[in-house]
Amino acid sequence: MMFKVSCYRNWFLLALMLLPVAGMQFAAVRPVAAQTQAASSSANFGGFFAPKGKGAPQQSQGGASRGACFGDASSLEHGMNLITLITPDTNRGLSVAARPVLFAHVSPSLARQVYFSLKNDDESYFYEQTVTLTSSGMLRFQLPDDAPELQVGEEYRWSVALICGNRLAPDSPWASAVIERSDVLTLDTQSMTPMEQASAYGRAGLWYDTVDRLYSMVQSQPASNAQSALSQLLAAEGLDSVSSVLKSSVGTERVGASAAVSGDGQS
């Protein structure tokens, strides 16, 4: 399961190698001041302060699927919009987690499998997984406990591809972005409420941790204001289409359809 070599991923990796991780930098992120009660009693999300990165945006997309994802030639026009990775508008994000949680949104299509990979520049770290896709909507990618930890200060490229036929193909829709593990957070979040944690992560510029905390609240506390906070966060970072889906789901038990991708290969 870990670090396996799939006969059909060579072309996919070749494409991603054209998008090197090395050379991209994050400007220093100011540590969160030690104010453990900054959002102590507030039920509102405090916002997200994105670190300033250098270089061109690094989320990339490709593939058209030649009708396999839609059943007709319309996929040539719409295939590029099938996958939206949940990243800030810089298309690069930070996390303090050793095994972070990543999110993507997929539009309705005929795809029945999704391919996920995470690698560093020289592929000394490489994790991949293929799972069944039962519905469109938000996909949650959780690295399993037996996956090697991400190293602080190192950047990794994560990629998602839809398998619209029997196997991954050169024209399968895909998208990729960059994540860096950071140790910027100086607060002990264990004593905080979930919304306080989300606010602390947001103030520290930790995108992936912020989204994960808010999304977890939406799933477990649908009556809370976490859904509105998450929608506003996504809209502020240019993810308007995903934000609209979340807003339309207010009052429901779940946010659209969700498929969790974990190390056991189940969804």
Residue by residue, DSSP assigns 37-91 as TTTSS--S-----PPPB-SS---EEE--GGGTTTSSTTHHHHGGGSEEE---TTS
State the pLDDT at residue 127.
Answer: 94
Q: What is the reported pTM?
A: 0.75
Residue 100 lies in a domain: yes
Residues 2 and 125 in one domain: yes
Same domain, 132 and 157: yes
Task: Specify if 31 maps to a domain.
Answer: no
Better pLDDT: 34 or 70 = 70
What pLDDT is attached to residue 158?
96
Domain encompassing residue 159: 1-15+54-183
My answer on whether 101 and 7 are in the same domain is yes
Q: Tell whether 106 and 237 lie within a shared domain.
A: no
Best CA proximity match to 180, nearest among 262, 125, 257: 125
Does 8 share its domain with 121? yes
Residue 42 lies in a domain: no
pLDDT at 25 over 70: no
Q: Does 25 reside within a domain? A: no
Domain assignment present for 251? yes
Same domain? 81 vs 151 = yes
Residues 215 and 120 occupy one common structural domain: no
Residue bearing tokens 């870990």: 2
Q: Which helix (H) or strand (E) holds 139?
A: strand 137-142
Residue type, 21: V
Q: φ and ψ at 156, to 5 degrees?
A: -135, 145
State percent of the chain over pLDDT 90: 34
Note whether residue 26 is domain-resident. Answer: no
Per-residue DSSP letter, 149? P
Residue 11 in domain: yes
What is the percent of the chain where pLDDT is above 70?
A: 65
> Looking at the 3D structure of the chain, how many domains does it have?
2
Per-range mean pLDDT, top range of 55-64, 122-131, 237-246: 122-131
Dump pLDDT digits (tens) for 86-116. Answer: 998 888 899 999 999 999 998 888 888 999 9
**Residue where one domain finishes, among candidates 183, 213, 242:** 183
Domain membership flag for residue 46: no
Tell me the pLDDT tens digit for each residue of 170-217. Answer: 888 899 999 999 998 877 888 888 999 999 999 999 999 999 999 999
Instruction: Give the DSSP per-residue string, 182-248.
Output: -----S-GGGS-HHHHHHHHHHTT-HHHHHHHHHHHHHH-TTSTHHHHHHHHHHHTT-HHHHHHHHH
Q: Does residue 173 sit in the same domain as residue 239?
A: no
